[in-house]
Amino acid sequence: MKKQVKGYLAFAFLGGIMLTSGVLVAMTGYDPEVTITGTPSDNFPDEQRTTFCSSGSDAKSTKYVQEYLIPTECTNPLAIVSDYDGNVWFTETNTGNLAKFDPTTETFTEYDNPTWPLGGRSMMWGIDYAPDGSVWFTDETYDSVWKF
């Protein structure tokens, strides 16, 4: 068999595999189910929520470490700072919110960000507490520096 004929056969064979694969993917599609709850968990398909969002009952503590559940499900504290009174401030991913934890009373206070778009996702990496009592934080999605 000539070299040119072998090349045509190999091209046709590989092209057939690619065409068949493309048709199968297009026919089956992938449309994950998302149950709308009005919470940050709406950013994830139902099947991934247990991976990315807390169930609300899985805080773990030891005799050395106490873990507290954040009131808003499906948020993570990425940036953390303490103020002069010992309160712990942190940003909540997937909400644009700022939160304060009082270790004395073991209570959380969450502050909504009124300019944050509903369903907006972000990872706020930086936070600092200023001597004037203000809290500054950043987010990468909206390229912003926020002052509270």
In a domain, 83, yes or no: yes
CATH number assigned to the domain comprising residue 52: 2.40.10
Output the pTM of the full model: 0.63
Name the residue range of residue 62's domain.
40-147
In degrees rounded to 5, what are phi and psi of residue 111? -115, 115
In a domain, 3, yes or no: no
H or E, element range at 81: strand 77-82
CA–CA gap between residue 61 and residue 112 (Å, rounded): 28
In a domain, 127, yes or no: yes
Residue 1 has pLDDT above 80, yes or no: no
Residue 59 has pLDDT above 80, yes or no: no
In a domain, 108, yes or no: yes
In a domain, 31, yes or no: no
Residue 32 has pLDDT above 90, yes or no: no
**How many folded domains does the chain comprise?**
1
In a domain, 64, yes or no: yes
Q: Per-residue confidence at 56, pLDDT binned at 50, 70, 90?
A: low
Residues 39 and 73: beta-carbon distance below 8 Å: yes
Cα dihedral 12/13/15/21 (nearest 10)? 150
In a domain, 18, yes or no: no
More confident: 34 or 82: 82
